[in-house]
Structure formats: structure tokens, C-alpha cells
Structure 1
Amino acid sequence: MEAKHKQRLEELAAAVEQQLLTYVQVTPETQRQAKVVEAMRYSLEAGGKRIRPVLVLEFCRLCGGTQEQAMAAACAIEMIHTFSLIHDDLPEMDNDDYRRGRPSCHKAFGHAVALQAGDALSTAAFGVLIDDPVLEPSVKIQLLHILVEITGAAGMIGGQIMDMAFETRSDVTLEEQEAMCAAKTGALIRGACRLGCTAAGASAEQITLADQYGAKLGLAFQIVDDILDVTSTSEVLGKPVGSDAQEGKVTFVTLLGLEQARQKAAALTEEAKGLLAQFPDHEFLLDLTEELLMREK
């Protein structure tokens, strides 16, 4: 990634992280429940690529909006993403003890507190949008509608249910796997692009292009995740590797083989770049799109 683009990515991520922690802090109203707030902050502070909020901020900019217009939506989607990671790590789900190089939330705070921290983040996300002082009420309603759609049974949560159901099957097809990933991983990535456009008051055509870009990027992102689970190490990823194979889970690598999976991710990335090229001043996102294909964690 070009140095100037890497610096921009770091600056955007830092701005999101700073704002996130202003939303989630112990207040006089939550002093007696401070433990759950601490768990929320612990998971938000774990770092990560912050890809979803960056997409919100950048698509808002590409469509003529400001960072102030996009920040609430950027933080909201990162809260939803973080809540999903807390729950994914629980024993009933992926049963992972580490996340981003340190103990997962339920290992650090206990099962019950982690469960409640995830729930609290999921509701806080909607409050952040409702209370934002910058956005017009009509825009807030549009953003809330997107957030509901991408989070619920038709989106990320539904995708997780599909993923769990597939664990007991050995006959999952490529089409089914793509549909599951489009919901579990792709919904938030597509939603991030739409949130950014909507915050800026973009045209329907721009929102459609951004949504199509997000769909391609989201699927490529998941394929690369599946590849890294086979080729990387726990030290690099900051979480266990090889767990998919140990649990007998169907992945794009098991369906396509390693080389074909790489080719599919590369082809999707090229399609995403073609859609992105229809936006002005897209060089940063173009570089980021390529970086996500080549990433090592």
C-alpha cells in the first residue's frame, strides 16, 4: 500500500477509535454496571483493520459528504461488527479463546458479561445514530433502516445461523457457501458502503454502485479469510488458525482448492475495482481494495 494511503488509513482508523471511546464510557448512570462497559471498551479497543467504518467515511467523501456526516454511522457499524465478534468467540459459536492477539472477551470477563457486552454494543449502535447532532432526521431514518437490514435475520445474524447449520453438513454447495458469506460477512461490508453514500445524500445510482462494490469486496474478503486459516499462523493472525479444518467446516478452500480460491478472490477484487473506478477521487479505496486481497492477517 502506498505510504500516503497507509497514513490515511491509520488516520481514519484513529479518528474512529477516538470517537468510539467517547460513546462507550462509564457515566453516573452506568457506574454500578461498569463491568459491562469495561468489557465493551475492551473489545472496541482490541484494534483490527476498521475496514467497515473506513468504507463508511470514504464513500461519504466520494459522494460529496464530510467526515462529520459519516462518523456516527462509521462508529455504529463498528459497534455492530464488534458485538458480532464477541458472540462469535463464545463456546456456543466458534469457541475461540483469542481475538486480535489477546484473550477474547468471554475469557477476559466471563461468559455472562461478554454476552451482555455484545448485546449492549448492538443497541448502542442505534443510539449513536439517533443522538447524532449533525444528521437530519430523515437521513437518520434511512441509516437506521440500513443498519437493521444488514444486522438481522436477513443479514449478518442470519448468515451466522447458516454457517452453524452448514457445520453439520458435508454436501454444502458453492452457491450455498456464497449465499452464507454474502450475509455473514458481506452484509456489513455492503452496508458500510451504503451508509456512507446515504449520509452524504448520494444518488440512487451511486448507492447501487457502492452496494455492488461492497458485495464483490465482501466475498473476496471472506475467501481470503478462508485462505489465511490454512496458510497463516496464530502469531500473525492473532487468533487460532486451522480451526475450520479441525471442525470439518466447509470453506472456499475445501470447495475450490487453495489455488482456485486465490483466483476467485483475485477476480472478485478486479470486479470491485472496476465498480470503484466509476467514482471520482477513488485512488485511496482502490489501493485499500488491493491491499485486502494481499493481506497477511
Structure 2
Amino acid sequence: MNFKEYMQEKKTYIDQRLRELLQPETPEFASLYEAMNYSLLAGGKRLRPILFLAVLEVLGKDAQPYLDLACALECVHTYSLIHDDLPCMDNDDLRRGKPTNHVVYGAGLATLAGDGLLTFAFELMARQKHLDAAKLNRCIAVFAKAAGPAGMVGGQAYDLACEGHASIGLSGLKLLHHAKTGIIFKAAIELAAILGDATAEEQQMLSDYAVHMGLTFQITDDILDFTGDEKTLGKPIGSDERNDKATYVTLFSLPEAQRLADEAAQAAAAAIEPLGDRAWLLRDLVLSMLTRVQ
């Protein structure tokens, strides 16, 4: 199986389970569940849950018993997109090629749809009684911190504070990108390392990979916001520039951003080189990010 086949197979597997999860028990709440499912099932690459399942397989585990945990990661990611698009945040009207949640359902229900997906994710994680309780408790703690005020929510608050201040510098840009994006990739990998009984050496390799992979993703995302096509990407381009936000393109230059992305991807691949052929998917995954901007 090659990289594209693997990604498509796992995406299909995850999508099928996501379609089963959110069913209202109370008919009066149906509109909320409709709004939640609208964004959750709108498409997307399912990169975070696939990454989580792939690391488990690298560590020799059967991924099937962990599918709901993978879906919980996607619920949190989707919540973050709904809130990020709100009028009080980036005020975007297109996501994954469709009108954003607040455009369809209004800002109030969209906010609640995001709230619902976030809290449901942790309910779903806590339901996994077939998993080792101590490991699951560690996973919930790790992911709650990564998604909360010390991580992604903190990053979003910092992003709001930085609007109109494109001169936050490299250290500010690194903090922003790590908190908003990189920390969730890192958490997904850390969860898999916990559940997959990774050795100390494997944990370090995977942690280093996560840092460099997250950076690769964010730099290429910045490049695409500058050079991409709205129809292809399924979301508005140029929003960072309109909101006067610092990016790797504005802070450096397009050629330098491309060089930094390549450097980060190569560092990620090098971090897992000792894992050998079993880590082929992780290597191909980070290198594929470079093809998005070539």
C-alpha cells in the first residue's frame, strides 16, 4: 500500500465512524446536532486522527480499538475551526469548500456547535472502558491541556491579541503557531506513544518528529495562504494579510519560507530515521506537506 492509498483508507474508516457518533437523544436538540455534524462531516484530510492511528501502528498496535479516540481528536479539531471562523474571530465565510457554520446556522448556534464538539470529544474519550484506565487517564489529561488555555485556546487568544501587529517577531510567531496548531499534532502523537507503550527512546524520537512536523505544516499553510487557490483549498486565502497577521512569508519572504519548510520536513524525517521502515508513513506524511506548495 502506498501513501495515498493508506491515507484514503484511514480517512474512509474514520469518516464512517464519525457519521455514526452524533445522534440526538432529545428531539428538541436536533438542530444543534445538525450544526455539529454539518462541520464534522464536511470533509477534510483527517490528518490528526490518521497521525494518531499511524503512530500506534508504528509501535506495533492494532489501530482498531482506538478508533473512537481518533474521532475525538477530529471533534476537537472541528470545534476549533468553527470557532476560528466566527465573526468575532477571523470572520471567514468558507471552510472545506462550504459556507462556514455561522453563515448557515448563525453565530449563536455555531458557537454552541463548537462547544458541543469539544465537550463530546472528552465524553467519547472517557467512554473507552476497554482501554487501560491509567493510560486513558493520562491521555485525557495530556489532550485537555493541549486543547485548553495552556495550549490551543491560549494560542487563539494570543492570535486575537496579535491582530494588527504583524511585527511580533520570530519568537512570537513560533509561540503562536505551536499553540494554535503544533501542540495538537504533538498531543496526538503523545497519546499514541502512551497507548502504544513506546520506549523512552521512541518517545523522544516521536516528540522531535512532532515538533518539526507541526512546523512544516504551519509554514506550508502560511505559504498557501499567500499563493494558494481558494477553490482548491476550500477556504479563503489572503486572510492573514487582510488581518495584518505575522506569517513566515511576511516575516521572511516566500523563497525563505519555502526553504524553512523544507528544512523542517527534513528534520522531522531525520528524527524518526532510527525507527526504520516501520515509520515510512510518518516520513511520507511530512514530506507530502512540501508538495502542497510546489
TM-score (norm 1): 0.95
Could you tell me how far apart the structure 1 residues matched to 2:15 and 2:293 are? 22
RMSD: 1.5
Instruction: Give 1:108 deviation, angstroms.
Output: 1.3
Residue 294 of structure 1 corresponds to: 291
Deviations 1:215-240 (A, max 9, x none): 11111111111101111111111111
Aligned counterpart, 2:77: 81
Q: Is 1:115 matched with 2:141?
A: no
1:192 and 2:188 aligned: yes
Code of the residue aligned with 1:137 in structure 2: it is A
Give the C-alpha shift of residue 196 in structure 1: 1.4
Alpha-carbon displacement from aligned partner over 1:61-119 (angstroms, at most 9, x marks no partner): 11121112332221111111000000000001010001010101111111111100100
Give the SS at the match of 2:191: helix
The separation in 1 between residues aligned to 2:137 and 2:50, in whole angstroms, is: 21
Contact 1:265 1:293 in 2 (8 A): yes
Contact preservation (8 Å) 1:58, 1:285: yes
Mapped pair 1:285 → 2:282 = yes
Residues in 1 aligned to 2:252 and 2:114: alpha-carbon distance in whole angstroms: 34
Q: Confirm or deny: 8 A CA contact 1:182 1:219 kept in the other structure.
A: yes
Q: CA deviation at 1:170?
A: 4.0
Task: Give the letter for the 1:25 counterpart.
Answer: Q
Q: Which amino acid aligns with 1:284?
A: L
Q: Pick from 173, 177, 188: which aligns with 2:169?
A: 173
Q: What SS is found at the alignment partner of 1:278? A: helix
Q: Tell me what 1:40 maps to.
A: 36
- In the alignment, the residues of structure 2 paired with residue 266 and residue 184 of structure 1 have an alpha-carbon distance, to the nearest angstrom, of 21
Which of residues 4, 7, 19 is equivalent to 1:6? 4
Equivalents in 1 of 2:23, 2:271: separation in Å?
39
Does structure 1 residue 143 correspond to structure 2 residue 143?
A: no
Counterparts in 2 of 1:86-105, with a 5 A limit?
86-105=82-101
TM superposition shift of 1:194:
1.0
Q: Give 1:211's aligned amino acid.
A: S
**Cα separation, 1, equivalents of 2:148 and 2:59:** 27
Cα distance 1:45–1:106, how it changes in 2: closer, same or farther (>3 A)?
same
1:168 CA displacement: 3.2
Which 4+ residue blocks in structure 1 deviate beyond 3 angstroms? Answer: none
Aligned CA distance change for structure 1 residues 283 and 170 (closer, same or farther; 3 Å): closer
> What is the aligned length?
293
Residue 150 of structure 2 corresponds to residue 154 of structure 1:
yes
Does the CA contact (< 8 Å) of 2:164 and 2:243 recur in 1? no
Distance in 2 of aligned mates of 1:103 and 1:163: 23
Post-superposition shift, 1:296?
5.2
Structure 1 unmatched ranges of 5 or more: none
Name the CA distance, whole Å, in 1 between partners of 2:39 and 2:166.
34
Of residues 52, 59, 64, the one that matches 1:63 is: 59
For residue 261 of structure 2, the aligned residue among 265, 274, 283 is 265
Aligned residue number for residue 49 of structure 2: 53
What SS does the aligned partner of 1:185 have? helix
Tell me the equivalent position of 2:201.
Answer: 205
Equivalent pair of 1:216/1:272 in contact (CA under 8 Å): yes
Alpha-carbon contact 1:73-1:196 (below 8 Å) kept: no
Deviation at 1:286, TM superposition (A): 1.4
Calculate percent identity across the aligned residue pairs: 38
1:3-54 Cα deviation digits (max 9, x unpaired): 722111101111111112222122xx23210111111111111111111001
Question: 1:69/1:275 Cα in 2 relative to 1: closer, same or farther (>3 Å)?
Answer: farther
Taking the aligned partners of 1:23 and 1:63, their CA distance within structure 2 comes to 27
Counterparts in 2 of 1:65 and 1:112: CA distance versus 1, 3 Å: same
Aligned equivalents of 1:21 and 1:278: distance in 2? Answer: 38
C-alpha contact 2:216 2:286 (8 A) present in aligned 1? no
Alignment of 1:114-133 (within 5 A): 114-133=110-129
Consecutive unaligned residues of structure 2, counting only runs of 5 or more, are none
